[in-house]
A and B are shown apart, each in its own frame.
Chain A
Amino acid sequence: MQLVAQIVLNGVLLGGFYACMALGFSIVWGVMNVVNLAYGSMIMIGAYVTQMAVLQLGLPFAAALPLAALATFTMGYVLQRALLNRLAERSVFMTLIFTFGLNMALINLNLILFSADVRSLPDVFGRASFTIAGLSVPYGRATIFAVAMAMTLGLHALLNWTPLGNAIKATSFDPDAARLSGIDVPHVYALTFAIGGAIAGVTGALVATSYSFSPVAGESYTMKAFVVVVLGGLGSIPGAIIGGMLLGIVENLASLFLDSGYRDAVGFTLLLLVLVLRPRGLMGRRFFAEVKG
């Protein structure tokens, strides 16, 4: 019982991180109908920027994290503005293929710039842990969970209580009506991709603190973002939290019973089941998830 409780707790902590990571992917998909297969590479760029800022510039982690977010924010804005906006009217698999190509190019650039070495940024939060009700919680995991939840709430506030949030939602419901009411649609698209990018950057900074990373490690994060978004439902913040925690708990439970090689496959089995049984996800709202082609 104690063991199961510990595993569920670990799953919830990991799930909070997954939820935050998936939101950056989900907002781009929900608003522009773009499945960004280069998302994982953007997370890796966030991780590399964080590592360089801490090890080479000597910045504290708290300063490195916004720097990573800024880097991927800018990258996201430029990508959408210069390239992806041109594909807005095309069929969905054109953008899918496009971002796959982008991902290859980014992996290659990361390989050239940072080499294929597996890196990590040890001891940002120390190795200590505290206990609640007999369950141990490492400070590092707890901090990641807290930052991820803060990002999630921040995004919720941005989307619901600011003019920019209204513009983003209006554009995602009906780009033509948004254009007619004076919204600069290409700019809003670019800002949305940039926000998704900033979340990728923060995720990357968090990855750097407690996981090892390399140029090719990004793909597994893209896949997990997929699973969380499909589980929770596209464009839903509560859905992302539920989907993230579900994936976190299931992955941790599966590692009890199955070989660790099945870890990713378990998530995908869950994904296939949800797609077949409930294609809109557990919490998906209809208008966001409408399939456009």
Chain B
Amino acid sequence: MAALLARWRSSPWAGSLRTAALSCALLAILVVLPPFLSLYWLRLLTSVLMLAVIAQGMNAMAGFVGYPAFGNVVFFGMGAYGAALAMTAGFGVAPALLIGAVPAAVLALAVGPLLLRLRGHYFAIATLGLNEVVSALAANLSGFTGGAAGLSLPLGAGTASDAAYRAYSGFVALFAASLALGIFLRDSRFGYGCRAIRANEEAAEATGVATLRVKSIAWMLSALLTAAAGGLYARWVGFIEPSQVFDMSISVKAFVMFLLGGAGTVFGPLIGSLLIESATTLAWSHLLKFHLLILGVTIMLVVLMLPDGAQGFVARHWPAVRAWLRHRS
């Protein structure tokens, strides 16, 4: 019996189940929380969840596979436009999200095999170029997308607070999916393939990982998640324009968030987005003029001081803190 228990503990399933249980507890809290929150805090929490989802999409590529998909915001924009156009045409929310997400996933699968041969800066720049091209198309095909002037969505039924609750519950559902993706990438056979690529791509190839296929599929999953977030965002704000949904700083924020929370972890994106989003919201409300400056300096400090994320920082300094505490008592 004891031997069986020990074997169970050391199997990867035990880790997955523990993380899944933690995720369910977290989601349960998120589900019961809204009645206790004012609309302001609900909106803040919604944007924290949205950025956690986008950061998980970035984490899937940059954290787990080691490819800095800097221009991932292209999928956010495509998802937002696809869903917005579908909703304007009278589709319901779920089919509209699908209509937004599928082209994004197809794009990732189509250009993945070409761009994922590049590494480092070159891959990062290629994704950036992709975003510029798609966003220029969105801005100039004005007959189709409304052009640079933007696109208004039909209003949903109910009051403003109904809309806020709807947006919140949509993002809670998507956040659940993002945690599932994180667990999948951490514990599955496919995820081991991803991490092998991150550690040493040539060695992974030599041991039989179909690297190009694994990278392309990982990018497609990242695109699906990011595009779904874009679709929900379009519905939430009711008006989108190219400069806003294809904004590179969304990608960069997502990047900094998962770095801060811990690259290649399941909950890292949420931790990072909680920290950064509350910091920037404080900056917005009190120091509007210095908002970009504060965000920029925060990013620089995170990179300089916390390269292994907040979790890594705590792990590094915890022994010293504990020794100091013991010394005091």
Contact = CB atoms under 8 A, between A and B. Distances in A.
B118 A271 contact: no
Contact of B304 (A83, A105, A272): A83
B300 A293 contact: no
A274 B132 CA distance: 16
Interface residues of B, number: 43
Contacts of B117: 276, 279
B121 A96 contact: yes
A105 B136 contact: no
B119 interface: yes
A82 B195 CA distance: 34
Nearest to A105: B296
B41 interface: no
A291 interface: yes
A97 B259 CA distance: 10
B132 A268 contact: yes
A96 B252 CA distance: 9
For the side of the interface on A, what is the size category? 35 or more
Contacts of B292: 104-105, 107-108, 111
Interface string B130-153: 101100110110000000100000
B210 interface: no
Interface in B110-125: 114-115, 117-122, 124-125
17 contacts: A92-B124, A93-B255, A97-B252, A97-B255, A97-B299, A100-B296, A101-B252, A102-B296, A109-B293, A112-B289, A112-B293, A261-B148, A272-B133, A275-B118, A276-B115, A276-B126, A279-B118
Interface of B: 62, 68, 70, 114-115, 117-122, 124-126, 128-130, 132-133, 136-137, 139-140, 148, 249, 252, 255-256, 259, 289-293, 295-300, 303-304, 307
The 9 closest A-B pairs by CB, nearest first: A101-B299, A104-B296, A265-B136, A105-B296, A108-B293, A108-B292, A93-B68, A268-B129, A101-B300
Interface of A: 29, 33, 35, 83, 86-87, 90, 92-98, 100-109, 111-112, 223, 226, 230, 259, 261-262, 264-265, 268-269, 271-272, 275-276, 279, 291-293
